[in-house]
Amino acid sequence: MTRLVSLGVILGLVAVFGLLSLRVMSSFLLPLLLAAMLVVIFGPLHRWLRDRIRGPEWVAAALTTLFVLVIVLVPLFLLIARAGGEAVSILRAPDGLKLDANVLGGLVESVNSATGLHLTADAVNAEVRKLAEEWVGPIAARTPVVIVKLVIGLIVMTVALFYFLADGRRMLAAVTRLVPLDPRYQWQLLEEFEEVSRAVVSSTLLAALVQAVLAGIGFSVAGLKGVFLLTLLTFFGALVPFVGAAAVWGTASLYLLFFVKDTWTAAGLAAWGLCVVSTVDNIIKPIVLHGQSKLHPLLALLSVLGGVGALGPIGIFVGPIAVAFLQAALTMLQTELDHFSGVQPSVAGAEQAAGAGVAQTPSGRVKSS
């Protein structure tokens, strides 16, 4: 009885402090998840460096982390800096926040004749500038806070990436000892995480890149200014389902229609964006996710869309991983039910069950069953 009471107290402590730790670490879940995904993506490079250097583990981990910072983050900052420069130059231009008076005059006359109002082009421009300042003002005020959070997140992600690479094997060994689950199933979940992480990252980035390039071609043909800025905005918008590239090319099409009064160009850009730019996202993501993981194309698409709808941007990564884990858990459950009912496991399951001793995961990690 005393032992059962002690066990109950321990379980209560684990639940309380586990929830408290989750609350404390909740703001860093996204950087930690991104760090884990970077470990999956750049793991082969780390193992190659570790085998060549044959020194302390932290040396290869530091070199891999430095490579990720130089190859991934530095170009990203340069692109954002260039796009930011274009945005600042547009805002600082004398007519940056003013609509063309000649074009606006005809539009105002049409509105006045249809509604009986007495608007003027100067009044509309003044209102547009006021609305823009009211919209940009809060964003500018929040910019320092956003930048600080972004910098902290990048620091956490970088430090986590280094320690995941340097101490990853010891961390996994400690976790596998603590989790009351058959080691075979633990490694199966890890393999699912590895496959789905690589598939989600590659599919998301590839789809966003293709959409940005196609949209950039459309912006250039339409004769819009700030093509690079619009293209970069399309890339980041395409990373988020529902918002997507349509928020950029749709706004550009409306600008061409109402302010440039180029109906055919606006219609052409809208048709290009709807039929090509936004459609290619629904083609690339399911194909890549299905090709690099065990997710059905329909499940792959729904897991991304549903994940974003339920969890926000982090759902891009969590959604497919959750669905893949559910598939793996159902497979484990079926295996255990077959075991209890005396049904012989399948050939593949028998081979896994017979793999006593030492086996290797697809990424080359050594595991014991």
Q: Where are the domains of the chain?
A: 27-178, 181-245+275-369
> For 21-37, what is the mean pLDDT?
82
Considering the entire predicted model, what is its pTM?
A: 0.65
Q: pLDDT-based confidence at 350, cuts 50/70/90? A: very low
Q: pLDDT-based confidence at 272, cuts 50/70/90? A: very high
Looking at residue 170, its pLDDT comes to: 85
For 157-187, write each residue's pLDDT tens digit.
889 989 988 888 888 788 778 777 788 888 8
Please give the residue that has the higher pLDDT: either 48 or 82: 48
Q: Do the beta carbons of residue 165 and residue 68 sit within 8 Å? A: no
Instruction: Dig out the tokens for 130 from the structure.
Output: 């006021």
Tell me how far apart the alpha carbons of residues 338 and 343 are, in angstroms, rounded to a whole number.
Answer: 5
Please give the residue that has the higher pLDDT: either 366 or 189: 189
User: Which is nearest to 248 in space by CA: 224, 265, 264?
Assistant: 224
> For 240-254, what is the mean pLDDT?
79
The dihedrals phi and psi of 358, each to the nearest 5 degrees, come to: -120, 135
Give the CA count within 13 Å in the CB-facing half-sphere of 216. 16
Looking at residue 134, its pLDDT comes to: 61
Looking at residue 167, its pLDDT comes to: 87
Kind of pairing between the strands at 366-368 and 358-360? antiparallel
